[in-house]
Structure 1
Amino acid sequence: MSSIRFIMIGGFLGAGKTTTIARLARTYQDQGLKVGIVTNDQATDLVDTHTLRNQGFNVGEVAGACFCCNFNELTNTADQLHLDNKPDVILAEPVGSCTDLVATVVQPLMQLFGDRFDVAPYGVILKPSHGRRILKGDPKAGFSPKAAYIFKKQLEEADFVLINRADELTEAELDELTQLLANEAPDTPLLRISAKTGEGFDAFLEQLEQRGEFGRRILDMDYDVYAEGEAELGWLNMSLTATADTEFDLDALVLDIVDRLQNSLATATAETAHLKTIGLSDGAHAVANLVSSDTRAELSLPSQCKTTSADLVVNARVAIDPAQLQTFVESAVDQACQSHGAKTEVRQTQAFRPGRPVPTHRITEFG
């Protein structure tokens, strides 16, 4: 197996990792390179995996635990991608509630698998909606200090930080975030990008091409605080089928589900880390998402599809009890489908709190 460039892009839930990785993958493909992608989740039925596969990418999924706790599955998945397509580049998207990835993923790859993977600098995407509130110490940030601890640790271990959604922010807002980040991570390079438009991607690609003393920001971690911060989130993955006697608008349906869920969660004052819904029908796919309680739901990938049958997957990461979250999701899905004349058949629902991280490896000394 020849050396593969391994690029992992981290960031909090809803930061825009999937959109960023999709644009990176297309860029590398345009350069004539073969690309493999590895997604990651605490459970199966990940919207990101469906989204990327339906865009034509070769995707492997590590499910059931984060990369750090399922390291062997990460390397096995990379091996399978190599057998399938012999990629020049592997892009990896870790779970958005994970940190300490330099010690538990980057360094193990460099020291134990250095002959197989050429590891790139580790970039972390800043999520503006929560980032501004957390970094300012806003008591209305929506998450406890323990969850905010994870967010800050992600920034601390990054080789560089990407301020995403630059096209949606004013210059004053960008300057404020830049200053907040400079205060939080004073020695870390900052880039402004838009995963949606491609703004700033040339500088981003240049950063990823760097070689040298990268992946060395080993964190001083309190795993008790880390575990409690992750466990604050209710985690839900649901897959179902919607069928109707007459055609319904797939784009309108997935957006309606997210809208209804946002409204119901607001009544419980439950802060949303990320909501995603994908609808799949005869090769078409539509994706709607919500990245925080104080932003609007958006149709991020329209399908322009009208159909009588669709497979739906809902992913919700919310600061609420998982059982209560499941009740909200089931109600939003049922009401939205009924309003579009569709009946639902649920195939699988997984609702839980993430367990304590137990890394396969944790390397704190450089080889």
Structure 2
Amino acid sequence: MSTSANETGLIRFVMIGGFLGAGKTTTIGRLAQHYRDQGLNVGIVTNDQATDLVDTQMLRSQGFRVGEVAGACFCCNFNELTGTVEKLAAEDRPDIVIAEPVGSCTDLVATVVQPLVRMFDAQFDVAPYGVILKPSHGLRILQGEDSGGFSPKAAYIFKKQLEEADFVIINRIDELDAEKVDLLASLITEAFPGTPILRTSAKTGAGFDALVELIDQRGEFGKKILDIDYDVYAEGEAELGWLNSSLKATASEAFDLDAFLMAIMNAMQKTLANSHAETAHLKTIGLWEGFYGVANLVSSDTAPILSLPSNCQAKEADVVVNARVGISPEELRQQVDDAIDAAAKKFGVRIERQQTQYFRPGRPVPTHRFSAPK
């Protein structure tokens, strides 16, 4: 780092935003590993409207120290965010904290960055705020062809996230041809002139050095205060059904954990397609004795992928499913339950359901909001 957290005496606070399914968790995991390899203590804070978050489980499985702010977004639960950092610091004060906000959240500069800068300047050194562009929905939304399968109100959140960014990351370049990446970059420049654009792959590490270099910069950042309509914002968030579910899968004979996770994703893709419901993000993790696998579905027009294979056969596993879909929470729960049951039948697995939360997010009410930058 150009000026390390150790030299400043402050905790370097890095927040990476982006829409549901943009690749925030994979990016944050790679960043955390980079700083850890430098000999720095790293803490991670994940965020969700509910408990049982795949992201938290996955990052902890990689050996990172992770705190979770559950039940509300960072902006609406700001004191819990700072309190979670204090808990991470209780045992071993981190040099860097990397925060992952809820993927349907925006206005984070006014409600998180500025409060940290103004109220906690003796504790935190705040990095430039980067937002990851999700190509699968971003191309459709920025071209103005439609709302990426969502309503205009949900697309409003997507665009506001990009508007407040100090820099935008085009992720998944390993999955896109160069022409499409160039098109995305030109659309971002047209909509948000002057905003730096990075091209990366969180999966392969392509473009990662440039990302680290930009995050490590000091200067006039975190000052893009949005002119935002909270009625539209709230209605856009509330159009998504949210579900977090945890369960234990057991079998008398060892089963392929990765194939089981993919079976859940494939079944979900089919049922959601039949319902004409747009997927913001579906993800599931399976954990067994230090092994873990993760499967994702990030939009209705892409295929499910096994993003992190466990490569293991297991007789039991803890499984967490997170779903964010443009459908009613009740219907979403039924479809998730049916997909799990179908996968269990296929693999001869018994399911013990432990906890399921399903709902629509409530209206965001920030703890603090500054209408002008410091």
Interval containing the TM-score (normalised by the shorter chain):
over 0.9
Distance 2:92 2:121 in 1: 20
Partner of 2:366: 359
Residue 338 of structure 2: aligned partner: 331
Aligned position for 1:271: 278
Aligned to 1:65: 72
Whether 1:102 aligns to 2:113 is no
2:141 partner letter:
I
Counterpart pick for 1:290 among 292, 297, 302:
297
Q: Which residue of 1 aligns with 2:3?
A: none
Matched residue count: 367
Cα distance in 2, alignment partners of residues 81 and 185 from structure 1? 36
Give yes or no for contact 2:13–2:124 (8 Å, CA) kept in 1. Answer: yes
**Deviation (angstroms), 1:139:** 2.5
Of 236, 245, 249, the match for 1:238? 245
Q: Which residue of 1 aligns with 2:137?
A: 130
Moved over 2 A (4+): none
Q: How far off is 1:183 after superposition?
A: 1.0
Q: Aligned partners of 2:195 and 2:147: how far apart in 1?
A: 27
Does 2:357 align with 1:345? no
Residues 63-111 of structure 1: CA deviation (Å, up to 9, x unaligned): 0000000000000001111112211100000000000000000000000
Can you list the C-alpha shifts for 1:309-356, whole angstroms capped at 9, x where unaligned? Answer: 111100000000000000000000011011100011111110100000
Q: Which secondary structure does the structure 2 equivalent of 1:69 belong to?
A: coil
1:110-164: CA deviation from partner (whole Å, max 9, x where unpaired): 0000100000000000000000001111236200000000000000000000000
Work out the CA distance in 1 between the residues paired with 2:338 and 2:37: 43
CA distance in 2, matches of 1:66, 1:58: 20
Greater CA deviation, 241-250 or 219-228?
A: 241-250
Structure 1-normalised TM-score?
0.99
Q: Secondary structure at the match of 1:266?
A: helix
- 1:159 maps to 2:166: yes
The match for 1:144 among 142, 145, 151 is: 151
Q: Secondary structure, in 3 states, of the residue corresponding to 2:321?
A: strand
* Alignment correspondent of 2:96: 89
Match of 1:303 among 293, 296, 310: 310
- Give 2:226's aligned residue: 219
Query: Counterparts of 2:207 and 2:138 in 1: how far apart (Å)?
Result: 19
Q: 1:289, 1:71 → 2: CA distance?
A: 29
Letter of the aligned partner of 1:166 in structure 2?
Answer: I
Aligned pairs for 1:149-188 within 5 A: 149-188=156-195
Match of 1:42 in 2: 49
Task: Determine whether 1:29 maps to 2:36.
Answer: yes
Coordinate RMSD, CA, aligned: 1.0
> Which TM-score applies when normalising by structure 2?
0.97
Deviation (angstroms), 1:187: 1.5
1:283 CA drift (Å): 1.4
Is 2:45–2:67's contact at 8 Å kept on the other side of the alignment?
A: yes
Q: Report if aligned partners of 2:224, 2:373 keep a CA contact under 8 Å in 1.
A: no
How far did 1:169 drift? 1.0
